[in-house]
Amino acid sequence: MTRTLITNGTIIGADGRTAGDVLVDGETVAAILAPGQASALGITAAGSDVRTIDAAGKYVIPGGVDVHTHMQLPFGGTEASDTFETGTIAAAWGGVTTIVDFAVQKAGEDVIESLGAWHDKAAGNCAIDYGFHQIIGGVDENSLKAMTYLVDNEGITSFKLFMAYPGVFYADDGQILRAMQNAGESGAVIMMHAENGIAIDVLVAQSLARGDTDPRFHSLTRPAELEGEATNRAIQLAKVAGNVPLYIVHMSASEALEEVAEARHKGQNVFAETCPQYLYLSLEDHLAQPGFEGAKWVCSTPLRTKHEHHHADLWKGLRMNELAVVSTDHCPFCMKDQKELGVGNFSAIPNGIGGVEHRMELIYQGVVNGELSLERWVETCCTTPARMFGMYPKKGVIAPGADADIVVWDPNSTTRIGVNDKHHMNMDHSAYEGFEIDGKVDTVMSRGAVVMENDTFHGRAGHGQYVKRGLSQYLV
């Protein structure tokens, strides 16, 4: 199999940066070589099987790992508009080489059968590697047994519960405690959608009764206080369950971040992620746009006001490791025939924003803006997600023996995001329309195969393989 030598670049890892060359042999990284060492060893393109990629003036980083996506997710009478094929192709365009999606079990359904349905959706259709978390929408004796089985046999070591969406996914405190206790026995991570769904439903009903039906009321009926309260409650339940690893998903509010920071300071196994939408978008500038336009930005947890300090606190949280990961919660819906289901009733708008293609770009802009270091960019978008969810050191790092998931990033080019610019997700709009990024994805390799180069996709559906994950590597 042809070898590839990535030369003259600056290799960026979570622990630093170095000038060097990366030798790829087949699907894995064979060696990290000092500048000039390849020639001394006779590894050159001339007359050999080595293909050279010149990364002069560019960064060489691990492929992005997005551990929160929803391809083909049924929601609100429709289905997320990206298939596993279109969504993973878009991810590759954005420098993402691994996703972890969510298999869904609702109350009354069999967990193992629900997982099988997601395997059927993804198998043979993914352009990059993929794994699954398991949503447990009905906590009972059968689902608890299934959780243990999935950890032991299926490489699924993380389970998502919901404190929101009564009647759909909601779990009460007793069910959450039982699931946490079960996870503690097997070493699994509990992922939590932390919002007080019971209280939110009251506020939503009151808003609709007043005639307050525009998209902006989606945020106003899901106040930050109810995200903070639910986050605290989840943390206390995890403590009672025996310091069970807890991972708060899609954090948007300062109040929730404060609870996580305090728990981490006390030594609890509590972690959290945020998403680009909560770092860049706001209630006033996006969700509250005139008419129904704001529906483009309806997601849960919701966009927060720009007049408080949520944005600044979340960036600070990323710098200080109060927030461990940036994911996307990629859950795309078109305006036409999908978001439009909620015209006249914000609570009927399918919840979700498409972003799997743009996470690496948007968080790199944070580096340019002085919010993060290059190393922290790689750490939060590549290395920590892989370690958090049992894929390291095959994923999330450029090191001998690791999968050759590699991105060459050009800091001297620019990217303009928008449906008439860079946009490959299966959506009729972009949440980041008109954003300009001071950098660009140059080349993307997935397990040694070049899947994106010279603004052209060279991959294929079916290249991606299922990743059986181990336990988290962050537990104390």
Domain CATH for 93: 3.20.20.140
Q: Let me know: does 148 contact 182? Beta carbons within 8 Å.
A: yes
DSSP state of 95: T
Q: Which pLDDT does position 45 carry in this prediction?
A: 64
Q: Which pLDDT does position 46 carry in this prediction?
A: 62
Residue 81 to residue 158: CA distance in whole angstroms: 25
Residue 106 to residue 446: CA distance in whole angstroms: 33
Q: Let me know: does 240 contact 371? Beta carbons within 8 Å.
A: no
Residue 462 to residue 150: CA distance in whole angstroms: 24
* Residue 469 domain-assigned (yes or no): no
The Cβ of residue 202 has, within 10 Å, a number of other Cβ atoms equal to 11
* Residue 408 domain-assigned (yes or no): no
Tokens of residue 141, six digits: 């004796």
Q: How far is CA 269 from CA 60, 90, 257, in A?
A: 32, 33, 15
Tell me the HSE value of 213 on the side-chain side, using a 13 A CA sphere: 11
Q: Which pLDDT does position 1 carry in this prediction?
A: 54
**At 255, which amino acid appears?**
E
One digit per residue, the tens of pLDDT, for the chain of length 476 reads 589 999 999 999 999 999 999 999 999 999 999 998 988 888 876 656 899 999 999 999 999 999 999 999 998 889 999 999 999 999 999 999 999 999 999 989 999 999 999 999 999 999 999 999 999 999 999 999 999 999 999 999 999 999 999 989 999 999 999 999 999 999 999 999 999 999 999 999 999 999 999 999 999 999 999 999 999 999 999 999 999 999 999 999 999 999 999 999 999 999 999 999 999 999 999 999 999 999 999 999 999 999 999 999 999 999 999 999 999 999 999 999 999 999 999 999 999 999 999 999 999 999 999 999 999 999 999 999 999 999 999 999 999 999 999 999 999 999 999 999 999 999 999 999 999 999 999 999 999 999 999 999 999 999 999 999 999 998 64
* Residue 432 domain-assigned (yes or no): no
Q: Which of 191, 169, 197 is nearest to 179 (CA)?
A: 191
Q: Which of 397, 467, 390, 470 is nearest to 29 (CA)?
A: 397
| Dihedral, CA of residue 240, residue 268, residue 303 and residue 208, to nearest 10 | 10
Q: Which of 168, 134, 102 is nearest to 347 (CA)?
A: 168
Q: Identify the domain containing residue 263 by its residue range.
A: 63-388
* Residue 421 domain-assigned (yes or no): no
DSSP string, 277-312: HHHH--IIIIIT-TTTGGGGG--SSPPPPTTSSHHH
Exposed/middle/buried for residue 444 (C-beta within 10 Å: 0-12, 13-18, 19+): buried
* Residue 335 domain-assigned (yes or no): yes
**Residue 333 — φ and ψ, nearest 5°?**
-135, 140
* Residue 407 domain-assigned (yes or no): no
Count of structural domains, the chain: 1
* Residue 218 domain-assigned (yes or no): yes
pTM above 0.75, yes or no: yes
Q: How many residues does the chain have?
A: 476
Residue 351 to residue 300: CA distance in whole angstroms: 6
Exposed/middle/buried for residue 476 (C-beta within 10 Å: 0-12, 13-18, 19+): exposed
* Residue 418 domain-assigned (yes or no): no
